[in-house]
């Protein structure tokens, strides 16, 4: 049997944002220290007016998610 328990690290986004601003204010490039990403929740995107969505459309790519397959035992006769 092999068990794998990977490490998962979460960062406080507000504190990271403050650190990025401190680095930027000091004249340094925060991209040397942290990865900066912009995200749009699909729910928010769907609620936007068409004019706003049209401006963001070129930056949006839709990919398939991870396939989840579940095998369930059937009762005899099904």
Q: Is residue 5 part of a domain?
A: no
Q: Is residue 4 part of a domain?
A: no
Q: Is residue 21 part of a domain?
A: yes
Q: Is residue 51 part of a domain?
A: yes
Tens-digit pLDDT profile for residues 34-65: 999 999 999 999 999 999 999 999 999 999 99
Q: Is residue 2 part of a domain?
A: no
In the prediction, which pLDDT does 78 show? 66
* DSSP of 1-17: ------------HHHHH
CA-CA-CA-CA torsion sign (41, 46, 50, 54): positive
* Number of domains the chain contains: 1
Say if residue 33's pLDDT is above 80.
Answer: yes
Question: What count of other Cβ atoms lies within 10 Å of the Cβ of residue 28?
Answer: 11
Domain limits at 38? 13-59
Say if residue 3's pLDDT is above 90.
Answer: no
Q: Is residue 6 part of a domain?
A: no
Whole-angstrom distance, CA of residue 40 vs CA of residue 29: 24
Whole-angstrom distance, CA of residue 19 vs CA of residue 9: 18
Q: Is residue 30 part of a domain?
A: yes
């Amino acid at each position: 049997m092999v068990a794998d328990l990977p490490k998962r690290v979460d960062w406080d986004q507000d504190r990271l944002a403050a650190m990025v601003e401190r680095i930027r204010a000091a004249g340094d490039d925060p991209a040397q220290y942290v990865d900066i990403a912009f995200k749009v929740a699909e729910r928010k995107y769907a609620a936007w007016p068409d004019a706003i969505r049209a401006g963001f459309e070129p930056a949006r790519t839709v990919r398939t998610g991870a396939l989840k397959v579940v095998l369930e035992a059937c009762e005899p006769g099904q």
